[in-house]
Amino acid sequence: MKERWIYGFHAIRARLRSAPGSVKEVWVDEGRQDARMRDLLALMSSIGLTVRTADGGRLDKMVGGARHQGVVAKVEPVAMARTLDEVMERIEGAPLVVVLDGVTDPHNLGAVLRSADAFGAHAVIAPKDKAVGLNATVEKVACGAAETVPYLMVTNLARSLDELKEHRVWTVAADASADKTIAQMDAKSGIAWVLGAEGAGLRQLTRKTCDETARIPIGGSVESLNVSVSAAICLYESARQRG
């Protein structure tokens, strides 16, 4: 993977703390001198990083007009587990995984990664086709979780679900029409919550490959939840059962 730009206070602060050696350049808006910027500058100074200044227009060009908050950085990729086997080899205790089928919105992926980090998930898995990859928007929304939770993009999602089963991971598809609820699943053991994109939902093969289906009990007039919200609820249920 090549060097790339990330932006925003959360994403850059998280990268500086988790892998400072991967940060190659930092540019800040010369016109921003508030307390938040001063704190970030102090952090960069403490680890010996040289900071460059530019006007807001130049920063806009670096990140394609994204909302950078006056700070952007060029970073190298951080080494994390790159395969499902590598992830499983590093896990102590019962695996907890999120599988996303057809999620293309970087904001949703970023939010899922953030929840995955918060509730102790070991990886997020998605197919290479019809799915969003890691980019600067994902990193910003994830608030550092893109640096701590492996995001695996696989060629064949159904095959990866079968591989999870070989590792004694129960695969549960979130399905609003399911008879059982997520609270009735045994989330103390190894579990993978499998979620589809809002609207399109899970592909038929993905659903058929899963061991079980379960629904999130909801009321009100809405028929479904945003995928990142659904992921957070499923992960919370795992954390609740595991104490």
pLDDT tens digit string along 5-18? Answer: 888 887 788 788 77
Q: Are 96 and 13 in the same domain? A: no
Q: What is the pLDDT of residue 70?
A: 94
Print the domain residue range for 124.
84-242
Q: Are 190 and 128 in the same domain? A: yes
232: domain CATH number?
A: 3.40.1280.10
Q: Are 135 and 41 in the same domain? A: no
Q: Are 65 and 180 in the same domain? A: no
15: domain CATH number?
A: 3.30.1330.30
Mean pLDDT of the chain: 91
Residue at a domain's end among 75, 104, 123: 75
Q: What is the pLDDT of residue 1?
A: 56
**Radius of gyration for the alpha carbons in the chain, expressed in angstroms and rounded:** 19
Q: Are 38 and 146 in the same domain? A: no
Contact call for residues 15 and 73 (beta carbons, < 8 A):
yes
Q: How far apart are CA 90 and CA 198, in angstroms?
A: 32
The end-to-end CA distance of the chain, in Å, is 38
Q: Are 22 and 94 in the same domain? A: no
Q: How far apart are CA 120 and CA 95, in angstroms?
A: 9
Q: How far apart are CA 229 and CA 53, in angstroms?
A: 38
Total count of domains within the chain: 2
% of the chain residues with pLDDT over 70: 99
Q: How far apart are CA 236 and CA 243, in angstroms?
A: 10
Q: How far apart are CA 184 and CA 139, in angstroms?
A: 33
Q: Are 51 and 137 in the same domain? A: no
pLDDT at position 222 over 80: no
Residue at a domain's end among 52, 75, 98: 75
Q: Are 93 and 130 in the same domain? A: yes
> Higher pLDDT residue, 199 or 98?
98
% of the chain residues with pLDDT over 90: 67
Q: How far apart are CA 229 and CA 82, in angstroms?
A: 26
Q: What is the pLDDT of residue 17?
A: 79
Q: Are 211 and 175 in the same domain? A: yes
Q: Are 175 and 94 in the same domain? A: yes
Residue at a domain's end among 75, 103, 118: 75
pLDDT tens digit string along 143-165? Answer: 888 888 999 999 999 999 999 99
Q: Are 63 and 180 in the same domain? A: no
pLDDT tens digit string along 48-79? Answer: 998 999 999 999 999 888 889 999 999 887 76
Contact call for residues 163 and 32 (beta carbons, < 8 A):
no
Q: Are 201 and 183 in the same domain? A: yes
Pairing of strands 96-101, 23-29: unpaired
Q: What is the pLDDT of residue 51?
A: 94
